[in-house]
Structure 1
Amino acid sequence: MLELPIELLGRRVPGVTDSELRWRHVFSVEDFPWLGDYRIRNQIVIPPAMFCIIALAAAMDISNGEKVASIELSEATIGRPFVLETSSVKIETLFSISKLKFEMDSIHAEFRLDSSVAQCQNTFTVAQGNLHVTFVDQHKPPNHANFSSRPPKSYELRSVNINHFYNSLSEVGVSYNGQFRALASAERRMDYACAVVATTTDEAQRVSTLLHPTRLEACFQMLLLAFAAPLDGSLWTTFTPTKIGRLALFPKACAGINTPTSVTINAYLREYIAGYDAALPMINGDVNVYSSDNVQLQLRLERLTMTPITPSTARLDKLLYLKRIWQQDILSGAVLEQNYYISRSERLGLSRAHMYILAATRLISHRYAKLRILQVGTSSIDLVQALCQELGDFMRSYTGYR
C-alpha cells in the first residue's frame, strides 16, 4: 500500500460539509529541513512539487483505505514561487476539495491550495485544478495502458555530467542541494533526456519516496535537461512549472516503494514557444517515471508547462550578428578576381588551380563558419601561406602533417 505523506497534508478541518473537505497545516523550514535545499535567487521557496504532492496525499486520504488504481490531477495551474523570508517563519496552507462526486469506482472533485504566512491576512492561491481517483475493480481486467513498461533505451545518447547540469541551473538562479540534487546519472540528446534517481535510506524512512517533493522535482529538472544541454547557453533564466495537463500516479506499480530503490525518468520536450513582447516563453513536454526493478510505469506527467518567473529583458538577448555579408553561392563554383594578369606559370595551370582552391575555400568557410577541415596529403608551402592569408581571422589554426 502506498503510504500517505500526512505530514505534508496536515489535518482535516472539522465541521465541513461532505461536498467540501479541507486540510490545514502550519509548518516552517525548521520542521522540514530539506526545504532549505531548494532556493531561487538565493531565497528559500516552497518547491512547486510540494503543491502537487499535497493534492495527491489528499486524494489518498478521501479514498478511505480502498484499493486505488490511479490518482490524476488534471488542468492544474501552479502560481509563482512562494518565498520564505527566514527559516523560522511559519507557513499556513489550506487545501480544499469541492464539488465532490462519488461514483461506484471513482471520485471526481476540484481542488485548491491557498497559502500564507501564519497569522497574516494576505492569502495566495498557489495551486488549483481537478482531481480524479479511480478504484481497483475486481470484476474488470486492468487497463494495461496505465501500467506500460519502460520503452527500450534510445540510441545516440550522450552522457551528462551531473555536476555541470546542476551548476548550469545555479547560473540562472535555481539552487538544488541535498535531496533535491536527486539525479544519480543522466543521458540526453536533442529534445530528450533520461536519468536514474537513487533513493537514500533516510529519504525512504521519512515519507513514501515517490510522493516526496524531491522525487517529483526531479521530473521538472528532467524537462529542463531535455530542453538544454548543461552550460550550452540555451537555458538563460529560471523556469518553474506553471501548468500540468495531467499528472497520473499508479499506486499498484509502486509496490515496495517504501524500501530503498531507484527509478528511471524519461523526459520528452514537445514544444518550445519563444517569448514575444509581454508573453513569456514556454517549455512543454511529457515525463514518465519507471521503477528500475520491474520497469513499470509509476508516474506520468503530460503537457507539463514551465515558464520563467520574470519576463526576459534586452540584457538577456543574444546578439546574433553585427552585419550581413553576402558571398557568391558555393554551388555557383569558384569565382576568381576579374582582370587578373595570367603569368607563364598560370598558363601551365599550376597557380590557376591554386586560385580556384583559395576561392572555393573562401566560399566554404563563409557558408560553414564552424567547419573543421582535415587535410589529407601534402600541399605546397606557397598554397598554405596563401590559404592562411585568404581566410585571415576566420581560421583559428592550421596543423600540417607529413
Structure 2
Amino acid sequence: MTAIASGSSIALISVEDLDIGRAIAFNDEASGVETLFSVNVVQRDGKNIEATFSCSSSPVQEAGRPLILNARGMVKVALGDPSDDQLPSIEKDDWNIVPIEVDRFYEQFARLEYDYSPPFRGMRSIKRRSGYATGTIENEAGSAWEDQLLVHPGMLDTSLQASSAAFSCPGDGRMWGLYNICSIGLRSGL
C-alpha cells in the first residue's frame, strides 16, 4: 500500500473482509513456495484508496502446478499524517471474559509442532471466552530488520493469533490441529 500511495503519507490502513482460506505451507525448512500477491485498486481520490487483494501460492517443487488461492480481502487506506486518535474506538465486551496465561497459549501450538518464536511470538496478554478474545501485542521485530515494511510480518501474524484464543482455551482439547480461524469479518487498523 506504501507503493500504491506513491509517496503520500498514510494515516491509517484498515483490512476488511479478510478471508484466509488456506495457509501457505512449507513441507520442510529447505522447501520453497512460489507466491503471487495481487492488488486491484477499486477507488482512489486525494484522501482515500480502496483496493482488493489476493495471495496465491504453489510449492516450487511441484513445477507446473496451478497457484491456489490462500487469502483475499479489502484494504482501505486513509492518506494524511498519522495521529494517535486515528484508530476507531472499539467497544470492549468484558462480560464473562477470563485471562489465560500467554505461555500456555503458545505451548498448545508447540504440542502441534508449530513453534512460534520472535518476532512471531508477540502476545503479552490474552483474555477470552468462547468466540471472543482480546489481547495486548508487542512488536518483536525491533528496528534492525532490513526490509523496512510498514508492518513486519511477525507483527501481522501476532495480531491474528487472538482468533485462536477465541476458538480454544489452552487445555480444552479443541486445538488438536492447526486451524485457520480468520475467515470472516476481521477489521484491524494498522
Say whether the fold is shared (TM-score over 0.5). yes
Structure 2 partner of 1:102: 44
Residue of structure 1 aligned with 2:64, choices 105, 110, 121: 121
Find the residue that maps to 1:84 and give its secondary structure: coil
Map 1:62-141 onto structure 2 (within 5 A): 62-98=4-40, 100-118=42-60, 120-122=63-65, 123-136=67-80
Q: What secondary structure does 2:3 align onto? A: helix
Q: Deviations over 1:153-198 (max 9, x none)?
A: 9487644233322223344x36233123322343445554443334
Partner of 1:239: helix, strand, or coil? coil
| Structure 2: stretches of 5+ with no match in the other structure | none
Residue 106 to residue 237, structure 1, CA distance change in 2 (3 Å)? same
The AA in structure 2 aligned to 1:113 is C
| TM-aligned CA deviation for residue 62 of structure 1 | 0.7
Q: Does structure 1 conserve the Cα–Cα contact (< 8 Å) formed by 2:2 and 2:150? A: no
**Structure 2 SS opposite 1:205:** coil
Q: Which runs of 5+ in 1 are unaligned?
A: 1-58, 250-298, 300-402
How many pairs align? 184
CA spacing shift, 1:151–1:68, aligned 2, 3 Å: same
| Residue equivalent to 1:230 | 170
How far apart are the structure 2 equivalents of 1:185 and 1:76? 24
Q: What is the letter of the counterpart of residue 121 of structure 1?
A: G
Q: Give how far 1:65 is off.
A: 1.3
5 Å matches for 1:26-45?
A: none
Other structure's SS at 2:34 match: strand
Higher relative contact order (CA closer than 8 Å, sequence separation 6+):
2
TM-score, normalised to structure 1's length? 0.38
Instruction: Judge conservation of contact 2:163–2:182 (CA < 8 Å) in 1.
Output: no
> Cα distance 1:125–1:150, how it changes in 2: closer, same or farther (>3 A)?
closer
Query: Are the structure 2 counterparts of residues 118 and 182 from structure 1 closer, same or farther at C-alpha, using a change threshold of 3 Å?
Result: same
Structure 1 residues 212 and 230, CA gap change in structure 2 (3 angstroms): same
Q: Which residue of 1 aligns with 2:105?
A: 165
Contact in 2 for aligned 1:109/1:131 (Cα 8 Å): yes
Alpha-carbon distance in 1 for matches of 2:157, 2:14 = 17
| Aligned CA distance change for structure 1 residues 229 and 96 (closer, same or farther; 3 Å) | closer
Aligned-partner residue type, residue 117 of structure 1: P
- SS of aligned partner of 1:62: coil
Which structure has the larger Rg? 1
Matched, 1:186 2:126: yes
Letter in 2 for 1:222: A
